[in-house]
């Protein structure tokens, strides 16, 4: 069955939040009233990107409330601070994917007009999650690929590619779920204001996915088998040597410098500029959002004439209230002094180093990418860097330590055991709850205020869990893997030795998981055929989303593994949210697996593996 045919089976759902109150109310005067239900809390504070405020408990409703603002329409990260511990909004489905902090997303609609990232009634592209073996990393990496709306219907067309990296501690999902690159580009393409293109979202910290290497004698240990001296070019080597090869062999791309761009936000801007400037034979469109890069790249700054010939667009944006403004301004001035042409953009009203800025800059540059006429006009009109005042913020080691403090490791796997930790010095009681436990287990508080518990059971399993801090459930703050549930979002324990650990699968062919944003369904297609004869309908549970069977259940990796071992036949899978859809007209053997028939994801995975091995 063709991909396009499978996409037409399920109607788009209209999700409704459970419960009897809204966690955010948008008032006519531009303020926002936050509400939160927690009978165990003694003190609650809302912490949003635009403002913070202590909440007051209503004696009748039991709701904690506060009104903040007014604030401009946009998307803002926020959380509740409950007795000193950060808690995601259990009523909010949208969340900020990050290696560390856990925030929900507040989307404030515009009263008039529209925002660049609004989800409009226009054709939407697809978002595909991919795995690929990276020879430079000696392990498996992952990325997200955006395909424009007509990719599946215009089979002969090839597309330019924009590689877009996120910031420090962000995952590859952030430019999708927070930056909304897909919706911004959908809107621009529909309005004829941007070229159709493929956008690739790499993971900017791939060594985190690999096991730590042993420390060499007399030196420092590396990450993922690489010593400290090799860290500089890890991402660049992976993107130019492995990810690009995967993208260009699996998608219809135009493979020359004139049709490749690279850029990113914060750390991703640094990485993107560094990779692009060192590989001007591969990239001619370079974008930096709230960032800068090295001023020591041989053959680039000291050879302006040749550099300018190779770069169609050199675009740099930063907020004057950004803690990186001084460094970014200095880099802009460095380009000017060396005769390197560039476009410079400044903001003053988007709260500094934020994703509100990142989205704004993205909207500006997507209009110019792969449009030589528009980009050349922008370059000709590029202005000099702002004059130095001496008051510019400069990024320092102290800034880094403040923004990204050292965190505990949780979960921590070693010697056949797993230790869970939580830094909560003010807490009185901390427990851990897991779907594989009959009852919560208690954590013990150390002298440093870190609570911990070490388990020997279920060490090699994958399961959902959370901490209970003085009666309040929270996700593990230092675990980057969140279960994409409708309400409260549990953390996911991914044991390195679980049977479906992607690193253990090694250099095999991986299928793709596609999230169709027109129909709001997810589906998997195997790596070996576009026309499988078997379809498995994966029905989500009551609190699951269309992502759950893949993000928590690992359905795609189970199929990939069994295919590589020759233990199953190629099949398609679809997360049929409403258990609807007429499959009878397709010449396929259809099987159905309901999450609600099983208590845990461990049981669901076992049922799927049994089904696949008996096809």
pLDDT digits (tens, 9 = 90+) for 259-313: 999 999 999 999 999 999 999 999 999 999 999 999 999 999 999 999 999 999 9
DSSP structure string for 143-165: EEEEE-TTTTT-TT--B-EEEEE
Residue 226: what pLDDT?
34
The boundaries of every CATH 2.60.40.10 domain in the chain are 24-107, 412-494
Mark 81-107 as b/e (b = at least 16 C-beta within 10 Å). bbbebbbbbbbbeebbbbbeebbbbbb
> Rounded to an integer, what distance in angstroms lies between the CA atom of residue 440 and that of residue 445?
16
Among 589, 394, 608, smallest CA distance to 500 is for 608
Question: Looking at residues 523-530, what average pLDDT do you find?
Answer: 89
DSSP 242: I
- Token reading at 448: 């440093």
Q: Residue 581: count other Cβ atoms within 10 Å of its Cβ.
A: 17
pLDDT digits (tens, 9 = 90+) for 20-51: 889 999 999 999 999 999 999 999 999 999 99
Distance of CA 596 to the CA centre of its chain: 28
> Rounded to an integer, what distance in angstroms lies between the CA atom of residue 280 and that of residue 261?
10
Q: Are 393 and 322 in contact (CB under 8 A)?
A: yes
Residue 585: what pLDDT?
62
pLDDT digits (tens, 9 = 90+) for 92-151: 999 999 988 899 999 998 877 689 999 999 999 999 999 999 999 999 999 999 999 999
Q: Are 536 and 573 in contact (CB under 8 A)?
A: yes
Question: Looking at residues 546-557, what average pLDDT do you find?
Answer: 95
Enumerate the β-bridge partners of residue 33: 25, 67
- 380 sits in which H/E element: helix 372-380
Q: What are phi and psi of 430, to 5 degrees?
A: -130, 130
> Rounded to an integer, what distance in angstroms lies between the CA atom of residue 579 and that of residue 170?
34
Distance of CA 534 to the CA centre of its chain: 31
Residue 405: what pLDDT?
72
Residue 577: what pLDDT?
64
Burial class (CB in 10 A: 0-12, 13-18, 19+), 380: exposed
Among 72, 589, 166, 216, smallest CA distance to 355 is for 166
Q: What are phi and psi of 270, to 5 degrees?
A: -60, -50
The CATH homologous superfamily to which domain 126-216+223-380 belongs is Alpha/Beta hydrolase fold, catalytic domain (3.40.50.1820)
The boundaries of every CATH 3.40.50.1820 domain in the chain are 126-216+223-380
Q: Residue 340: count other Cβ atoms within 10 Å of its Cβ.
A: 18
pLDDT at 222 over 60: no
Q: What architecture is the 412-494 domain classified under in CATH? A: Sandwich (2.60)
Q: What are phi and psi of 486, to 5 degrees?
A: -70, -40
pLDDT at 498 over 90: no
> Rounded to an integer, what distance in angstroms lies between the CA atom of residue 19 and that of residue 13?
19
Edge-to-edge strands, sheet with 32-37:
24-26, 32-37, 63-68, 56-57
Residue 198: what pLDDT?
98
Close Cβ partners of 481 (under 8 Å, ≥ 6 residues apart): 491, 492, 494
pLDDT digits (tens, 9 = 90+) for 130-147: 999 999 999 999 999 999
pLDDT at 363 over 80: yes
Class of domain 24-107: mainly beta
Q: Are 120 and 504 in contact (CB under 8 A)?
A: no
Predicted TM-score (pTM) of the model is 0.92
> Rounded to an integer, what distance in angstroms lies between the CA atom of residue 77 and that of residue 94?
10
Question: Looking at residues 448-474, what average pLDDT do you find?
Answer: 95
> Rounded to an integer, what distance in angstroms lies between the CA atom of residue 185 and that of residue 196?
8
Q: Are 91 and 66 in contact (CB under 8 A)?
A: no
Would you call the peptide bond into 70 cis, given omega within 30 degrees of 0 as the criterion?
Answer: yes
> Rounded to an integer, what distance in angstroms lies between the CA atom of residue 536 and that of residue 614?
13
Q: Are 593 and 536 in contact (CB under 8 A)?
A: yes
Q: Are 234 and 171 in contact (CB under 8 A)?
A: no
Residue 191: what pLDDT?
97
Burial class (CB in 10 A: 0-12, 13-18, 19+), 336: middle
Would you call the peptide bond into 411 cis, given omega within 30 degrees of 0 as the criterion?
Answer: yes
Among 111, 45, 138, 135, smallest CA distance to 83 is for 45
Pairing state between β 24-26 and 572-575: unpaired
Question: What is the 3-state secondary structure of 507-552?
Answer: CCCCCEEEEECCCCEEEEECCCCCCCCEEEEEECCCCCCCCHHHHC
506: left (phi > 0), else alpha (psi -120 to 50), else beta?
left
Q: Residue 59: count other Cβ atoms within 10 Å of its Cβ.
A: 6
Residue 19: what pLDDT?
53
């Amino acid at each position: 069955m063709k991909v396009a045919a499978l996409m037409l089976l399920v109607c788009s759902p209209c999700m409704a939040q459970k419960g009897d109150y809204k966690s955010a109310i948008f008032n006519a005067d531009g303020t926002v009233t936050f509400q939160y239900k927690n009978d165990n809390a003694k003190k609650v504070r809302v912490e949003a990107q635009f403002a913070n405020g202590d909440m007051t408990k209503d004696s009748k409703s039991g709701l904690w409330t506060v009104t903040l603002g007014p604030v401009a329409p946009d998307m803002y990260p926020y959380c509740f601070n409950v007795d000193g511990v950060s808690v995601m909004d259990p009523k909010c489905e949208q969340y900020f994917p990050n290696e560390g902090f856990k925030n929900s997303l507040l989307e404030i609609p515009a009263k008039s007009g529209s925002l660049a990232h609004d989800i409009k009634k226009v054709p939407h592209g697809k978002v595909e999650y991919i795995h690929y073996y990276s020879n430079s990393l000696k392990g498996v990496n992952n990325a997200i690929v955006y395909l424009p709306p007509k990719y599946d219907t215009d089979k002969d067309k090839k597309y330019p590619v924009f590689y877009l990296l996120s910031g420090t501690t962000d995952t590859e999902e952030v430019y999708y779920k927070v930056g909304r690159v897909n919706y911004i580009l959908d809107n621009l393409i529909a309005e004829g204001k941007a070229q159709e293109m493929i956008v690739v979202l790499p993971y900017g910290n791939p060594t985190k996915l690999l096991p730590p290497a042993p420390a060499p004698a007399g030196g420092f240990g590396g990450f993922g088998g690489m010593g400290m001296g090799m860290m500089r070019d890890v991402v660049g080597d992976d993107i130019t040597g492995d990810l690009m090869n995967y993208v260009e062999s699996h998608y219809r791309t135009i493979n020359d410098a004139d049709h490749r761009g690279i850029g990113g936000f914060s750390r991703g801007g640094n990485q993107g500029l560094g990779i692009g400037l060192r590989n001007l034979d591969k990239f001619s469109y370079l974008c930096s959002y709230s960032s800068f890069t090295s001023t020591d790249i041989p053959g680039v700054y000291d050879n302006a004439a040749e550099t300018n010939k190779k770069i169609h667009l050199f675009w740099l944006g930063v907020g004057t209230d950004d803690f990186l403004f001084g460094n970014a301004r200095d880099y802009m001035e460095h380009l000017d002094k060396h005769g390197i042409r560039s476009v410079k953009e400044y903001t003053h009203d988007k709260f500094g180093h934020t994703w509100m800025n990142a989205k704004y800059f993205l909207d500006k540059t997507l209009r110019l990418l792969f449009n030589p006429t528009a980009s050349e006009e922008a370059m000709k009109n590029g202005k000099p860097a702002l004059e130095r005042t001496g008051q510019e913020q400069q990024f320092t080691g102290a800034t880094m330590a403040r923004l990204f403090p050292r965190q505990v490791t949780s979960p921590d796997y070693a010697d056949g055991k797993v230790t869970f930790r939580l830094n909560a010095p003010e807490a009185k009681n901390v427990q851990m709850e897991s779907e594989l436990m009959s009852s919560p287990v208690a954590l013990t508080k150390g002298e440093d205020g870190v609570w911990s518990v070490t388990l020997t059971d279920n060490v090699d399993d994958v399961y959902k869990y959370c901490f209970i801090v003085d009666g309040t459930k929270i996700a593990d703050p230092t675990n980057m893997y969140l279960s994409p549930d409708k309400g409260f979002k549990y953390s996911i324990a991914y044991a390195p030795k679980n049977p479906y650990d992607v690193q253990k699968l090694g250099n095999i062919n991986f299928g793709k998981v596609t999230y169709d944003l027109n129909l709001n369904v997810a589906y998997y297609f195997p790596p070996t055929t576009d026309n499988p004869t078997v379809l498995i309908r994966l029905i989500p549970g009551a609190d699951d989303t269309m992502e759950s069977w893949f993000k928590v259940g690992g359905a795609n990796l189970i199929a990939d593994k069994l295919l590589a071992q020759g233990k199953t036949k190629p099949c398609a899978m679809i997360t049929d949210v409403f258990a609807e859809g007429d499959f009878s007209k397709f010449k396929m053997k259809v099987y159905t697996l309901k999450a609600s028939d099983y208590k845990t994801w461990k049981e669901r995975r076992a049922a799927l593996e049994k089904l696949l091995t008996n096809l």
